[in-house]
């Protein structure tokens, strides 16, 4: 029996616990799910209150506007039509202005997009240009470096070429009264001079090689070497020296009628016998000028170079008995062929002859004439002309003046 009551007691306690738990859960869930509903109810209530207040305010404003409108109609009853027309026009103007503003805004937006796109492209181009500039700067530095290396090499070659030319000390002993105006176009020169004394004879040569700069300098070194080989005590014949030079040039450059190489040199050579006061001259394209008693006499050359030529002619000798006071000039074509002056034309051989005559008429000593030729050359080259361009030196220049 006691067991039965114990079971009843257990189930009663369990029922009470479940009831309390159920009440708690109901309260919890109701609180949880009713909370938004309560908030919404409060908001809705507030909204209704505001709506009522707004309706009251709107009604009040409508009443004021209606009263104001009635007063206006009473005050302007005689101008009703005009007022309506003006209001309508203002409304139309306002709409037109609004449309215009909208249109302008759209156009501005389109322009803005175009400008943005253009600015983007310009920025891309700017970056590309910047990269290209960096590349060009690198190339420029590399070119300048190589240019400096080449220039240094050419300057060193100039020292070698100058060393091969007769020194001033030797020239002063052999020809006391002389000048040499030597002006390379590109540091080294294709023009060269050669002087040597053999027994009682003095050999003087002025040569103009094909080209200028480095190629001309190579040819000039060949010419100096060939003269050293050709001019011997038993062969003091000017024309024969030029003939031997022609053979050596053609052989060394492998020139033939079929070859395309036309390199060579022009030369004026004088063999002066100091004992019997006679001079032998022979020229390959370059003449001899002799000034005697104020008169300029020209000894012509054979119109053939030293080298391959279509119609080769034998070189010829001209014998001259020189007198005291005679002045001789041998030269390349560089001075006469220089462009300049107001008309930008060649200086010319006529002007060169007149200059020689004028210098001697003014009794300007030979050593000082080199400066005069330098001044005349620079003045002619740098003279202002119609083209407005600076005239450059066109060729190497060599002029030798001597008095025996």
How many other C-beta atoms are found inside a 10 Å radius of the C-beta of residue 212?
Answer: 24
Most confident of 9-13, 65-69, 112-116, 246-250: 246-250
Q: How far apart are CA 12 and CA 18, in angstroms?
A: 10
Indicate whether 260 pLDDT > 80.
no
pLDDT confidence bin for 227, thresholds 50/70/90: very high
Q: Which residues of 247-275 are buried (b: 16+ CB within 10 A; e: fewer)?
A: ebbbeebebeeeeeeebbbbbbbbbbbee
Average pLDDT, the chain: 81
Please give the C-alpha separations between residue 1 and each of 4, 9, 11, 14, in angstroms, as whole numbers. 5, 13, 16, 20
Q: How far apart are CA 309 and CA 250, in angstroms?
A: 10
Contacting residues for 372 by C-beta, under 8 A, at least 6 apart: 355, 359, 364
Residue 38's pLDDT is what?
Answer: 54
pTM of full prediction above 0.75: no
pLDDT confidence bin for 14, thresholds 50/70/90: low
Across the range 1-28, mean pLDDT stands at: 51
Residue 3's pLDDT is what?
Answer: 46
Q: How far apart are CA 37 and CA 361, in angstroms?
A: 130
pLDDT tens per residue across span 320-334 = 999 988 999 999 999
Most confident of 120-129, 152-161, 261-270: 261-270
Contacting residues for 150 by C-beta, under 8 A, at least 6 apart: none
Q: How far apart are CA 384 and CA 380, in angstroms?
A: 9
pLDDT confidence bin for 249, thresholds 50/70/90: very high
Maximum pairwise Cα distance, the chain: 181
User: What angle do helix axes 349-361 and 366-381 make, rounded to 10 degrees?
Assistant: 140
Half-sphere exposure (Cβ direction) of 20: Cα atoms closer than 13 Å: 6
**Which CATH architecture fits 166-403?**
4-Layer Sandwich (3.60)
CA 367 to chain centre: 41
pLDDT confidence bin for 91, thresholds 50/70/90: low
pLDDT confidence bin for 74, thresholds 50/70/90: low
Across the range 15-33, mean pLDDT stands at: 53
Backbone angles phi, psi at 309, to 5 degrees: -155, 150
Residue 85's pLDDT is what?
Answer: 57
Residue 144's pLDDT is what?
Answer: 87
Backbone angles phi, psi at 363, to 5 degrees: 55, 40
pLDDT tens per residue across span 164-199 = 899 888 888 888 899 999 999 999 999 999 999 998
Indicate whether 265 pLDDT > 70.
yes
Provide the sign of the torsion angle of the four alpha carbons 58, 61, 67, 70, taken in this order. Answer: negative
């Amino acid at each position: 029996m006691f067991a039965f009551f114990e079971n009843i007691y257990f189930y009663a306690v369990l029922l009470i616990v479940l009831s309390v738990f159920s009440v708690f859960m109901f309260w919890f869930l109701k609180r949880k799910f009713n909370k938004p509903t309560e908030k919404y109810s409060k908001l809705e209530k507030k909204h209704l209150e505001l709506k009522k207040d707004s309706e009251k305010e709107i009604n009040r404003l409508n009443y004021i506007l209606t009263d104001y409108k009635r007063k206006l109609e009473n005050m302007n009853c005689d101008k009703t039509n005009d007022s309506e027309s003006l209001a309508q026009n203002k409304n139309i103007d306002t709409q037109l202005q609004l449309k215009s503003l909208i249109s302008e805004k759209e156009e501005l937006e389109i322009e803005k997009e175009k400008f943005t796109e253009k600015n983007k492209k310009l920025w891309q181009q700017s970056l590309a240009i910047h990269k290209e500039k960096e590349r060009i700067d690198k190339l420029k530095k590399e070119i300048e470096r190589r240019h400096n290396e080449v220039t240094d090499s050419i300057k060193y070659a100039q020292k070698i070429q100058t060393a091969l030319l007769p020194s001033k000390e030797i020239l002063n002993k052999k020809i006391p009264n002389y000048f040499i105006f030597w002006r390379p176009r590109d540091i080294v020169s294709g023009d060269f001079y050669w002087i040597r004394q053999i027994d009682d004879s003095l050999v003087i040569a002025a040569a103009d090689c094909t080209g200028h700069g480095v190629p001309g300098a190579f040819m000039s070194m060949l010419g100096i070497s060939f003269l050293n080989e050709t001019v011997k005590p038993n062969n003091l014949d000017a024309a024969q020296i030029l003939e031997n030079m022609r053979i050596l040039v053609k052989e060394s450059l492998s020139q033939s009628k079929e070859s395309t190489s036309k390199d060579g040199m022009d030369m004026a050579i004088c063999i002066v016998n100091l004992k019997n006061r006679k001079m032998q001259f022979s020229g390959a394209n370059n003449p001899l000028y002799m000034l005697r008693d104020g008169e300029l006499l020209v000894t012509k050359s054979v119109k053939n170079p030293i080298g391959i030529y279509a119609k080769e002619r034998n070189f010829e000798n001209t014998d001259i008995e020189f007198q005291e006071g005679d002045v001789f000039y041998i030269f390349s074509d560089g001075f006469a062929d220089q462009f300049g002056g107001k008309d930008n034309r060649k200086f010319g051989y006529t002007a060169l002859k007149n200059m020689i005559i004028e210098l001697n008429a003014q009794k300007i000593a030979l050593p000082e004439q080199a400066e005069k030729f330098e001044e005349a050359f620079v003045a002619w080259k740098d003279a202002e002309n119609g083209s407005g361009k600076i005239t450059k030196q066109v060729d190497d220049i060599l002029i030798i003046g001597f008095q025996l």
